[in-house]
Amino acid sequence: MSPIGPLADTLPSTLPAALRRAPLLLGFSGGLDSTVLLHLLLALSRVGRLGELRAVHVHHGLQAQADAWQRHCEQVCTDLGVPLHCLRVDGRAEAKRGPEGAAREARRRAFAQLLRPGEILVTAHHRGDQAETVLLQLLRGAGAAGLSAMPGCQPWAGGWHWRPLLDVPRERLREEACTRGLTHVEDPSNPDPRYARGLLRSAVLPALRTHWPEAEATLARAARQFAQTQRLLDDLARLDRQAVSAQTPGGLDIRALGRLPVHRRLNLLRYWLAEAGVEPPPRRRLESFLTQIDARADAAPSLSWTGGSLRRYRDVLYFLLPQLPWPDALSCHWQGYEPLVLPELGLALHLREAPGEGLRHAVLAQGVRVTRREGGEGMYLAGRTGRQSLKKLLQESAIPPWERDRLLLLRVGNDTAEVLGLWRDRRYTVGANETGLVVERRPLG
């Protein structure tokens, strides 16, 4: 038998080989599960089978015993020589999510704040937690993605998230704690039936086990099967995306999309949004949106939710992330000596020199106005004769209406010297052998 113990011996095989020397950050609550995992990881780290270990304890402030739990975690880690970071969060700030959701979201933010690039966040979710997650997702009406429950290892927050105990029953962890003589804290809210997981843990799963002793293992196995199904759906979505990608970068060709069956269109849209890191809207809203697109070829329906919005323009479907509302009017004087910070727009304008392109130095030296479109603007463009209407230029270039509303213009008197990111008036630009000034938009922060 391995000197580090049979349970510890199995853990490295649940992590991709390329990550086994990466540093580890353990989420340590002081409870049974994370206490056992702390000792297992430390044993593996000391013999070089896993990377260097540190831990983080999140103090939610939601329980009277929270201070005592933190002191316990500090003492355990001091005795073991494991660096511990204690973070205090206010789960009540997310009260609209409910106590469980608030605590979970606060932990996620704390972990993401502390995780270093390439580091692995390790959490002690076990087989029982996986079974509870499957049941919760099933009761929420989730599809294959939700019923896949928690993955064993996934990219997360610039590093990785590893759950090495997903196939381990909690009884096995309790046996390990007894064998090693480990002490831990008990959270009284864990079996509380007022909370969804507490109800499953204290009443539903025990009742299921009386009839189906292997219910927990079966649910965890079902999660793995749903994960395989989801991978197939993602493979299909990638193929469909290649078939319906529009010539416009980032968009989907609506006519090609319409040739797919509805279930594949829904699958593609969910995958497309997931790629953008966004939770999709409810299925019924997506179905309704697709029906609106199909109803009229000239319609311009849109679908907005907390994650963003879907919009149609000229037979292309676009996804837009939420954006700060822009002021109705904007007019700032700028000579370019310093970046122009526009907090109401969430961006700043910077200058850089560039050979053979950009505005003449003299234009910025005399000062320009930075404005939004006001209507009636025109420009003199290289390769074109006469004054060109900005409105017509935008229509010719198929710039969607929502992007036109967020254009910034550099004005010299009543003239438009530049539409940032699109065009410059030839009267204010440098020649091929000169060095000009290029204006760049950069997000704040």
pLDDT of residue 405: 82
Q: Judge whether 36 and 65 are in contact, CB under 8 Å.
A: no
What kind and span of H or E run contains 333? strand 331-334
DSSP E strands in 117-245: the ranges are 120-122, 153-156, 159-162
27 φ, ψ (degrees, to nearest 5): -75, 110
- Of 443, 439, 382, 383, nearest to 411 by C-alpha is 439
Show the low-confidence residues of the chain (pLDDT under 50).
Answer: 1, 95
Angstrom distance (rounded) from CA 311 to CA 297: 14
Angstrom distance (rounded) from CA 354 to CA 91: 50
- Of 420, 325, 404, 327, nearest to 370 by C-alpha is 420
Q: Judge whether 112 and 123 are in contact, CB under 8 Å.
A: no
- Of 73, 42, 85, nearest to 184 by C-alpha is 73
Neighbouring CB atoms inside 10 A of 304's CB total 13
- Of 174, 132, 122, nearest to 152 by C-alpha is 122
Angstrom distance (rounded) from CA 139 to CA 425: 60
Domains annotated for the chain, with CATH where assigned, are 6-217 (3.40.50.620), 245-320 (1.20.59.20), 331-443 (no CATH)
Angstrom distance (rounded) from CA 62 to CA 64: 7
In the three-class reduction of DSSP (H, G, I as helix; E, B as strand; rest coil), residue 415 is classed as strand
- Residues 10-46 pLDDT 10s: 999 999 999 999 999 999 999 999 999 999 999 999 9
Structure tokens at 61: 């402030």
pLDDT of residue 409: 93
160 φ, ψ (degrees, to nearest 5): -140, 160
pLDDT of residue 1: 43
107 φ, ψ (degrees, to nearest 5): -65, -45
> Quick one: DSSP state of residue 202?
I
How far does Cα 337 stand from its chain's mean position?
37
- Residues 329-366 pLDDT 10s: 788 899 888 899 988 888 899 999 999 999 999 988 88
pLDDT of residue 325: 78
pLDDT of residue 91: 60
Neighbouring CB atoms inside 10 A of 293's CB total 20
Angstrom distance (rounded) from CA 39 to CA 48: 14
Kindly give the pairing relationship between strand 388-389 and strand 378-379: antiparallel
Q: Judge whether 151 and 227 are in contact, CB under 8 Å.
A: yes
